[in-house]
Amino acid sequence: MRTRLGALHVRIVGSGPVTVLWPSMFVDGHTWDRLLPHLAADRRYVLVDGPGLGRSEPLRRRSSIGEAADAAVDLLDGLGVDAPVDWVGNAFGGHVGFDLATREGVLRSLVAVSAPTEPITPELRRQIALLAPVLRLAGAVRPVRDSVVEAMLTQASAADPQLRAVVVDSLRRPGRRSLSLALRSFILDRADVNDTLGDIRVPSLFVASDDRGDWSPQDAVRAAALTPAARAVVVDGARTLVPLEQPVTLARLLRDFWAEVDGSEAPHPR
């Protein structure tokens, strides 16, 4: 689907009200595959590969999370979606969702999974500074793959060949220049959004994991306190890729949250 950041690869599953599933950086829409069987069947799920990632068209210039949100609007327009959608974003996808949730009429609800509302930490910036030249020159070679896997998965999940393969295979799809531009645009340049959380007017669920240091359960609670209609929950046994590591638990949280949103929209009896 054409957008201002190139064509985005999408898969559409099911029919009904639209739910967008936007994944984390470095990986693609296959990180949702273990989650889908546990979700409600009466929805239309749009699984997106982010700009420059997965099977989407390569990034050709530096961009931003705000522009990725613009591209998401292009995507919805291209799909003919004319009603607010339920948005589930993992990390990068959550950051895009924070932006979209401040815009009138785009989202019906927001779920941000393992999506820090602050810029990256100095420690993580130093680690990326060491790996970025390797990624730019050689692509997703073993040192890059190992670092991404460590950031995305708990030790237990990384030891599972099937879960590890989802991450590694995702890394192999885009070219090294596109990956480098995505890294700069969507991680290194990520801004603090705490000051804009108060502008979010849709029901929101912030999902933290128990093993991601730069968005702890306490961080999620603080972010939810700044957001008018948000609450925070914690999923155990996961790091960044909660949909891949704990699909059953996340699916239950999503079903319960959407039921609450549906209930809040029901007309009051006379």
Q: Which tens digits make up the pLDDT trace of 101-144?
A: 999 999 999 999 999 999 998 888 888 888 889 999 998 899 99
Distance between CA atoms of residues 237 and 114, nearest Å: 13
Closest among 1, 18, 16 to 85, alpha carbons compared: 18
Q: Residue 196 gets which letter from DSSP?
A: G
Task: Tell me the three state secondary structure of residue 233.
Answer: strand
pLDDT of residue 266: 52
Positions in the chain whose pLDDT score sits under 50 = 267-270
pTM of the full structure: 0.95
DSSP per-residue codes, 53-119: STTSPPP-S---HHHHHHHHHHHHHHTT--S-EEEEEETHHHHHHHHHTTSTTTEEEEEEES--SSP
pLDDT of residue 76: 98
Domains and CATH numbers, the chain: 10-265 (3.40.50.1820)
pLDDT of residue 59: 97
Q: Count how many Cα atoms sit within 13 Å of the Cα of residue 183 in the half-sphere of its side chain.
A: 25
